Structures are given as structure tokens and as C-alpha cells.
Amino acid sequence: MAIPEPPRAGRKVRRPGYWRDFWLGFVGVIVGNILLAIILNVIANASLGDAFTAPIVAAPWVINIGVIILLAIIRPPAALGMLLAYGIAFGLALLVGIFLAVLCFGGGGGVP
């Protein structure tokens, strides 16, 4: 009887479509949020009254969190792609904030 080989610590075998789902989640969150911003901007400028202000402000949060929870359940790679997009956006926002703080408080005369 031959002793079976232990699993190697090499590359992890992923199911077919893993990377496609990952990149669809990454690009989908960017395109979806741009479209959401355009739609919400049109709705916000429609003068519908104060009763619609709170739902319009809360809609992007509810939609984004709801989609990421749904995708984490049914398609985890797409949820990971979304998290990567959020992480990159957060990192860019931090870099812009640091850059503006240096411009404003660095003695260079303020923001041009």
C-alpha cells in the first residue's frame, strides 16, 4: 500500500469564474456608485420636498451595504472585489487629505 502524498503548500486551486467574479465586483462597485451618484443628484435637484431628503441621503449607504452583504452570501469573490475598491478609494481619500493638510498648514501660502 502506498501512502498518499500530503497536500502541497503551493498555489490554491480556485473554482472556475473566481477571478471574473472578483473583477466584476471591483468594476461593478465603481460603475454602480457613479450611476447612483448621478441618479441621486437628479432626484435631489427635483425639489421633491423635505420628506424625501433623509431617504435620498441614506440610499447610497443602504444600497452599498446591502449589496456587499448579499454578495458575501451568494458570490464571495465579488464581495472581495468590492472591498478592494472601497479600500483603494479610502486610501486615495487619505492621501488627498494628507496632501491638503500639508498645503494648508505647511506655510506654503494655502491651497492654490
Give how far Cα 27 sits from Cα of 46, 52, 54, 63, 80, Å: 29, 30, 28, 16, 12
d(CA 108, CA 96): 17
Cell of 24: 466584476
pLDDT at 98 exceeding the cut of 80: yes
Angle between helices 18-44 and 76-105 (to 10 degrees): 60
d(CA 63, CA 26): 16
Summarize pLDDT for 70-85 with one digit per residue, the tens: 999 999 999 999 999 9
Each domain of the chain, given as residue ranges in start order, spans 18-95
pTM score, two decimals? 0.75
Summarize pLDDT for 57-71 with one digit per residue, the tens: 788 899 999 999 999
Summarize pLDDT for 11-34 with one digit per residue, the tens: 777 778 888 999 999 999 999 999
